[in-house]
Structure 1
Amino acid sequence: MPTTTATVTRESVDVAGRTRTFTTVETPGAARPLLLVFHGSRQTGDVHRDFTGGAYDALAESGQAVVAYLDGHRGNWNDARSESYFPARKENIDDVGFARAVVELLSEHHRIDREKVFALGYSNGGQMVIRLAHEAPGLLAGAAVLAATMPVPDNFLAEDPSPTPLPVLLIHGTKDPIVSYEGGGFPWWQRKFFKVGGLSLSAPQTAVYFAERNGITATPTTSRLPQVEAGDPTEVERTSYRQEGRPPVVLYTVHGGGHTIPGPARVPGVLGKTSHHVNTAELVGEFFGLGG
């Protein structure tokens, strides 16, 4: 597991008769923002913490946020896709209720700012954050979605009767072998192995979806970020949807990047290339305005 100078605590909370678990990383101090982290398929919160090299722990160590790594049910989240069929979906696990319960518990027993609760999710966890953004208005102050895209309407489980504008950060690799940057469906082996199905939008279409949901009509701006590590086979492009009075939406396209999280950690090559041009934890801190 990653080493950290912050306090690491294993915690639990009862949700709909089930005991749910999570790991909290924090340092003493005044009330601060909370970052909820949702892992990918077949992971746990602690496995994902190791998968990222403890990158998000830095936000806790610097006093920018309390970081909570939540554990899915049997390795998955009851996410936004109606055609998923892993146990969390088949058993209709209340993961929206779990997120709410974690926030409630931490607000009672830890020093967090209830007005600054942010959610970050990777892959299946990204789909869970998409669901939270639609089904838990008022809970989140912002959402970060990594290596996941918006399901098409016929594959979208969540309800959104009164859309609540929300800052949204998106990060996706163009060579992602698991969740295609171009959208579409899954090949048969992925449907069988990950127990998912249905169609999704592309990463750029997902950015447009959230920009329109936020009422942004201004033309987006796009820029290439400078290379910071010689020999890195990836390039990073930032597309920003911003308009005065509207929460922003920003898409980081990792050209040549795989089903990975940009930053210091190196992951199995089967997932594709990891970009080191940007650090996801730093992007999250900057985008959400987390203060030290």
Structure 2
Amino acid sequence: MSISALAQSQQVEETINVNGVKREFTTYLPTDAIGGMPVVISLHGGFASPKGQFKLADFRPIADKDKFIVVCPASKHGWEDGKDVGKIDEVKFIDQLISYLIKTYHANGNRIYVTGISKGGFMTARLACQLSSRIAAVAIVAATLDSNEGYTPQYPMPILFIHGTKDPIVSYNGGSLFGREVYSHRDIIKKWAAIDNCNPKPVITNIPDKAGDGTSLIKEEYTNSATGMQVIGYTVNNGGHTWPGGSQYLPRFLIGKTTKNLNACQTIWDFFKPYTLQ
């Protein structure tokens, strides 16, 4: 496809073959798309879909304005963010997906970003550990990182975490999660700050409840002054297993509150856009 002639936005359902398995993804090309655009890969949660992720975390209006591609891959089996099983190699899938986007849409290979929520957030964390050579920055919502799956942060990576203190599914305090052990929000931020050689003393900003929804936020910024690399954590006080600024996709008694005091899509894109692969 020649994107030079694409005057209107376009959303395309596509597939690639990975280890003999057909993998599906949906690609959004913004209005007046051009060559060399960045890419935001957005990973859905468990029991969700690319269609649901586009609805929950809608980067498309921002993509139209700032000219980047949005891709929502599908994982019908729910993201093998732990040890691979059989033919399902999620890291290889995203690796080949990046290559496809560069070849097909002339995307900027130095500006590939990944974000995700819940199971998609844990998969994003895995990619930060195992595919860091292809990803410029990541952002993780309502998830942290497995502590016993055989992979761990090794290489510097700009990274942002958003987590609610009242998340009923993935505890803000970490611990046991469906038979696995996961880091707490605070512990994983400190771990990444050390990997990125950031100043261990963060800059703290309080974000009040201007929306009147019973939530507020604390932003912690850890910075490496030499490289400009940052690790940022947002604690959503009284927030649930939700995407800030997104829809209340299930009732509050099941997933907790969705804060309207932060637009996660805009916040994540603003975090991503200064970074390129080193």
Q: Same fold (TM over 0.5)?
A: yes
In structure 1, the partner of 2:42 is 37
In structure 2, the partner of 1:125 is 120
Q: CA deviation at 1:78?
A: 1.2
The yes-or-no answer on 1:166 pairing with 2:157 is yes
In structure 1, the partner of 2:257 is 273
Whether the aligned pair in 2 keeps the contact of 1:59 and 1:67 (CA below 8 Å) is no
In structure 2, the partner of 1:136 is 131
In structure 1, the partner of 2:14 is 11
The yes-or-no answer on 1:206 pairing with 2:188 is yes
CA distance in 2, matches of 1:240, 1:145: 15
Please report the TM-score for the alignment, with normalisation by the length of structure 1.
Answer: 0.85
The yes-or-no answer on 1:286 pairing with 2:267 is no
Match of 2:110 among 109, 115, 128: 115
Match of 1:238 among 199, 213, 219: 219
CA distance in 1, matches of 2:18, 2:215: 42
Q: CA deviation at 1:242?
A: 0.8
Q: CA deviation at 1:43?
A: 1.3
CA distance in 1, matches of 2:65, 2:192: 30
Whether the aligned pair in 1 keeps the contact of 2:167 and 2:255 (CA below 8 Å) is yes
Q: CA deviation at 1:59?
A: 2.7
**Alignment partner of 1:185: what SS?**
strand
**Alignment partner of 1:121: what SS?**
strand
**Alignment partner of 2:197: what SS?**
coil
In structure 1, the partner of 2:91 is 96
**Alignment partner of 2:245: what SS?**
coil
Q: CA deviation at 1:223?
A: 1.3
Whether the aligned pair in 2 keeps the contact of 1:174 and 1:180 (CA below 8 Å) is yes
Q: Give the residue type in structure 1 aligned to 2:260.
A: H
Q: CA deviation at 1:92?
A: 5.1
Whether the aligned pair in 2 keeps the contact of 1:122 and 1:148 (CA below 8 Å) is yes
Q: Give the residue type in structure 2 aligned to 1:168.
A: I
Q: CA deviation at 1:147?
A: 0.6
Match of 1:156 among 149, 154, 158: 149
What pairs with 1:252-271 in structure 2 (closer than 5 Å)?
A: 252-269=234-251, 270-271=254-255
In structure 2, the partner of 1:85 is none
Q: CA deviation at 1:7?
A: 1.0
Percent same amino acid among aligned pairs?
28
**Alignment partner of 1:261: what SS?**
coil
Q: Residues 105-163 of structure 1, C-alpha deviation per residue, up to 9 Å, x if partnerless?
A: 111111311000000011111111111111113110001111111222xx223266xx2
- Residues 109 and 92 (structure 1), Cα distance of their counterparts in 2 relative to 1, 3 Å cut: closer
**Alignment partner of 1:251: what SS?**
strand
Match of 2:166 among 154, 159, 175: 175
Q: What is the RMSD of the two structures over their aligned residues, measured on CA atoms?
A: 1.8
Q: CA deviation at 1:45?
A: 1.5
Match of 2:71 among 43, 56, 68: 68
Whether the aligned pair in 2 keeps the contact of 1:59 and 1:66 (CA below 8 Å) is no
